[in-house]
């Protein structure tokens, strides 16, 4: 198989782009580095395409390795033919390779193997040849053997039919046809184990849908319902059609003595061997497709969450709400430093609202707090009511924001949090995390396992390794898109930078602590274990403000410094001009990029990137994202009326819609059909996590705590 050609066709990109990218990957370059600094080589492939390419490359290389192992195994058995070898080499999927290998695979002791051990294979061959001129019973009598355990004619024929049934089930072409037929025309059904039992799976208690049309989120819901013992799930295949197909393939001549026996063998082969196996494969394929879709959505949601714009310049009060144990508060200055922590008891059972407000007022006055970040967990509603009352009593402007605290408890109990705040308890750490999440969501959220951030669906039911790798890639791309401040970034943030391992990240922090601030990117080469290759991969993503070279505070890579300086000189500027923002409009001075790139010995795409960066040095791409909504008043679910129009923040996007926070503690659902008048395949075509949207209330169910929203005609 020409792997590169296959990838080129699948991803609809030039073969030369695939060849160049694979070479870069094989040389040990990371995806973020290739996406940002090797655009000339790849033809500007973005990180999403590069990750898809990398994933397919690994799958197809694994496929080729498996083919080689299968061919070697069959050859060792002395059963490899030229035709079979070609079939295996041409196979495009692992499933087909395994189908072709099935007859040669070491099996457990099956009924067919036992029959062969009893010497019944010649009898099976006689039946398969379909040339018998007398009843098979006469032939079968010769195989009766007390020693071999064949008691009578009936047993001999049954054993022969077991051999034939297994041979039919091992035929790769039959399996492919039956799998395709089942997928196209079969039904996925679910029934209740107890029709009276109340559960979230009630809509699947009497469910049937064409396999080819089952949506991913329904597959995952049904799988969970089955795992939790609420549902019985089956694949109903077009059995009659399959038996007719097998009959045509197996019974090639009408023979009164063998045809009935072959019919019996092929029916047994399908029902006992093929159907259960195909059912497992189809369920597995549906699950894999559903997981891939869910992982994609999770990744997109996570990216939007990580790329939320920081709310800079605020001293923030992080508020971790609770009942019995009290609300934990942490005051964090604009740089993320913790100034104070305290516990208040405004909620049940203590209800010390007055005392709590006094404590918070003193903190606001003492530290100049301008924003309260309140977690959305238990007692959040009660805490918000106190915060709103408090804001009304203040003579200085203070806003509040409800912050998604998913994963905060995971972080606060982690080894990392213990190292960061050894003298804090979990509540103090959690409050600190809730405060920092609004100041710099990316820097704080990288400390948490992406799977715990809570912007997916069914994340605990899927392949955790696959999910972890995909989400890790999303975090890596996001961190490198933004870049990090080399002098303030935590080890948790640094380890996601291209070329930086966990060990090197810790070494960078240690170097900083021992030697003071970095003043030059080249100093990175003095960090233990950070060699020239790692420097090449990471340098462009590391920022140093106020260092020796102003270019160190941009995403211009050190390999392009000479070109950048020559460009500035040509256009009448000095490096120092970078600091004062004097280079706005620089792109207007470049008349001919093609000619200039030749003069500066740098690629045209790279030159355009350099100019863009010099115009706005160190620009944070998160500035383009929608700003979070800051509130000063509270709304209750009881206040909602159909027809009300509100502004909200998209908290989660799933296959059938999006959940929007409209400030009432219960996110409302905008179903996919209520997003736009145009047809869309997936909600992500209309909204992303973090988007600020206008919605209209359609209905409110106070008992079930459900809010239906629409984005149409708002």
For the stretch 655-691, pLDDT in tens is: 999 999 888 878 999 999 999 999 999 999 999 998 8
Whole-number Å distance between alpha carbons of 627 and 506: 33
Tell me, what's the pLDDT at 106? 86
Whole-number pLDDT of residue 634: 67
Helix (H) or strand (E) holding 247: helix 239-250
Task: Evaluate whether residue 522 is within a structural domain.
Answer: yes
Q: What CATH code is carried by the domain that includes residue 649? A: 2.40.50.140
Whole-number pLDDT of residue 614: 93
Question: Could you tell me if residue 123 is inside a domain?
Answer: no
Quick check: is 109 in a domain? no
Are residues 248 and 286 part of one domain?
yes
Tell me: do 286 and 394 sit in the same domain.
no
Q: What is the pLDDT of residues 598-644, one digit of tens each?
A: 999 999 999 999 999 998 887 889 988 888 888 877 677 888 889 98
**Is 586 found in the same domain as 654?**
no
Q: What is the pLDDT of residues 176-232, one digit of tens each?
A: 999 999 999 999 999 999 999 999 999 999 999 999 999 998 999 999 999 999 999
CATH code, domain carrying 422: 3.30.420.140
- Non-local (6+) Cβ contacts of 592 within 8 A are none
With H, G, I as helix, E, B as strand and everything else as coil, classify residue 252.
coil
Do residue 252 and residue 161 come from a single domain?
A: yes
C-alpha span between 667 and 660 (Å, rounded): 5
Q: What is the mean pLDDT of the chain?
A: 93
CATH of the domain at 76: 1.10.10.650
Domain-embedded: residue 469:
no
Verdict on whether the full-model pTM lies above 0.95:
no
Residues 434 and 333 in one domain: yes
- Distance between CA atoms of residues 560 and 548, nearest Å: 17
What pLDDT score was predicted for residue 451?
A: 84
Give the tokens for residue 128: 């398969």
Cα 369 from Cα 450, distance rounded (Å): 30
**What is residue 145's DSSP assignment?**
B
pLDDT digits (tens, 9 = 90+) for 146-183: 999 999 999 999 999 999 999 999 999 999 999 999 99
**Residue 10 pLDDT > 70:** yes
506 located within any domain? yes
Tokens of 558: 């050190």
Residues 150 and 287 in one domain: yes
For residue range 242-294, list pLDDT tens digits in order: 999 999 999 999 999 999 999 999 999 999 999 999 999 999 999 999 999 99
For residue 113, being part of any structural domain is answered with no
Q: What residues make up the domain containing 387?
A: 316-439
- Is residue 623 helix, strand or coil? helix
Q: What is the count of structural domains for the chain? A: 5
Q: Report whether 707 contacts 671 (CB < 8 A).
A: no
Q: Are residues 592 and 546 in the same domain?
A: yes
Considering the domain architecture, whether residues 339 and 403 belong to the same structural domain is answered as: yes
Task: Tell me which residue has tokens 């308890």.
Answer: 425
- Neighbouring C-beta atoms of residue 608, cutoff 10 Å: 15
> Per residue in 461-514, pLDDT tens?
888 899 889 999 999 999 999 999 999 999 999 999 999 999 999 999 999 999
Residues 617 and 658 in one domain: no
- State the DSSP H helix or E strand holding residue 367, giving kind and residue range, or none if neither: helix 353-367
Gap between the Cα atoms of 22 and 463, Å rounded: 26
> What is residue 617's predicted lDDT score, i.e. its pLDDT?
85
Q: How many other C-beta atoms are found inside a 10 Å radius of the C-beta of residue 213?
A: 9
Is 465 inside a domain boundary?
A: no
Alpha-carbon distances, residue 462 vs 200, 458, 465 (angstroms) = 19, 7, 9
3-state SS, 445-510, equals HCCCCHHHCCCCCCHHHCCHHHHHHHHHHHHHHHHHHHCEECCCCCHHHHCCCCCCCHHHHHHHHH
Residue 337 falls inside a structural domain: yes
DSSP, residue by residue, 424-435: S-HHHHHHHHHH
Cα–Cα nearest to 34, from 20, 52, 15:
20
- Of 598, 623, 648, which residue is a domain's last? 623
Q: Are residues 164 and 284 in the same domain?
A: yes
Local structure of 538: helix, strand or coil: helix
Residues 182 and 283 in one domain: yes
CATH number of the domain where residue 607 is located:
1.10.150.310
**Same-domain status, 225 and 332:** no
- The pLDDT value given to residue 593: 94
Distances 466 to 70, 222, 447, 460 between C-alpha atoms, Å: 25, 21, 20, 12
Q: Classify residue 500 by its DSSP letter.
A: -
């Amino acid at each position: 198989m020409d792997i590169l050609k296959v990838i080129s066709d699948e991803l609809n990109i030039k073969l030369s782009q695939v060849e160049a990218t694979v070479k870069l990957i094989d040389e040990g370059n990371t995806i973020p580095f290739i996406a940002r600094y090797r655009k000339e080589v790849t033809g500007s492939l973005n990180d999403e395409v590069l990750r898809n390419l990398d994933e397919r490359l690994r799958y197809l290389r694994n496929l080729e390795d498996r083919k080689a192992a299968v061919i070697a195994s069959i050859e060792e058995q002395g059963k490899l033919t030229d035709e079979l070898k070609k079939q295996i080499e041409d196979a495009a999927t692992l499933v087909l390779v395994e189908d072709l290998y099935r007859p040669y695979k070491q099996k457990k002791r099956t009924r067919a193997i036992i029959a062969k051990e009893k010497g019944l294979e010649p009898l099976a061959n006689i039946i398969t040849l379909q040339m018998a001129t007398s009843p098979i019973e006469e032939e079968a009598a010769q195989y009766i053997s007390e020693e071999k355990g064949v008691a009578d004619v009936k047993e001999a024929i049954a054993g022969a039919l077991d051999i034939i049934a297994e041979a039919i089930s091992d035929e790769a072409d039959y399996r492919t046809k039956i799998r395709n037929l089942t997928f196209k025309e079969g039904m996925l059904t679910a029934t209740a184990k107890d029709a009276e039992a109340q559960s979230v799976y009630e809509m699947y208690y009497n469910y049937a849908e064409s396999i080819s049309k089952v949506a991913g989120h329904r597959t995952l819901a049904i799988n969970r319902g089955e795992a939790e013992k609420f549902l019985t799930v089956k694949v109903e295949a077009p059995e009659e059609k399959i038996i007719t197909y097998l009959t045509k393939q197996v019974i090639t001549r009408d023979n009164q003595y063998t045809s009935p026996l072959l019919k019996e063998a092929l029916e047994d082969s399908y029902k006992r061997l093929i159907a259960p196996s195909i059912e497992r494969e189809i369920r597995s394929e549906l699950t894999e497709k559903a997981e891939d879709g869910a992982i994609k959505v999770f990744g997109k949601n996570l990216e939007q969450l990580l790329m939320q714009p920081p709310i800079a310049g605020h001293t923030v009060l992080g508020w971790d709400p609770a009942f019995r144990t009290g609300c934990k508060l942490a005051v964090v200055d604009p740089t993320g430093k913790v100034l104070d922590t305290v516990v208040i008891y405004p909620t049940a059972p203590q209800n010390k609202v007055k005392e709590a407000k006094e404590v918070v007022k003193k903190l606001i006055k003492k530290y100049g707090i301008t924003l309260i970040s309140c977690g959305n967990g238990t007692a959040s509603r009660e805490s918000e009511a106190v915060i709103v009352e408090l804001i009304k009593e203040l003579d200085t402007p203070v806003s509040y924001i409800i912050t998604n605290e998913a994963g905060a408890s995971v972080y606060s109990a982690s080894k990392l949090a213990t190292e960061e705040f050894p003298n804090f308890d979990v509540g103090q750490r959690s409050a600190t995390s809730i405060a920092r999440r609004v100041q710099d969501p990316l820097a704080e959220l990288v400390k948490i396992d992406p799977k715990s951030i809570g912007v997916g669906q069914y994340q605990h039911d899927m392949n955790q390794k696959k999910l972890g790798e995909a989400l890790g890639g999303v975090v890596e791309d996001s961190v490198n898109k933004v870049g990090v401040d080399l002098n303030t970034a935590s080890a948790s943030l640094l380890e996601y930078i291209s070329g930086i391992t966990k060990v090197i990240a810790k070494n960078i922090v240690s170097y900083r602590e021992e030697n003071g601030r970095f003043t030059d990117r080249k100093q990175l080469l003095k960090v233990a274990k950070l060699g020239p290759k790692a420097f090449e991969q990471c340098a462009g993503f590391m920022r140093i403000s106020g260092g020796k070279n102003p270019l160190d505070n941009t995403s211009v890579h050190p390999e392009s410094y000479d070109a950048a300086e020559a460009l500035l000189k040509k256009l009448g500027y000095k490096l120092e001009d970078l600091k004062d923002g004097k280079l706005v409009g620089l792109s207007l001075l470049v008349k001919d990029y093609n000619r200039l790139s030749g003069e500066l010995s740098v690629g045209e795409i790279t030159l355009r990137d350099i100019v863009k960066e010099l115009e706005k040095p160190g620009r944070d791409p998160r500035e383009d994202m929608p700003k979070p909504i800051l509130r000063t008043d509270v709304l209750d679910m009881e206040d909602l009326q159909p027809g009300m129009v509100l502004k909200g923040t998209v908290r989660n996007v799933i296959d059938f819609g999006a959940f929007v926070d409209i400030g009432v503690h219960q996110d409302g659902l905008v179903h996919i059909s209520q997003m736009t008048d145009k047809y869309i395949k997936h909600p992500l075509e209309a909204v992303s996590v973090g988007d600020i949207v206008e919605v209209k209330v359609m209905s409110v169910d106070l008992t079930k705590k459900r809010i239906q929203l629409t984005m149409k005609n708002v």
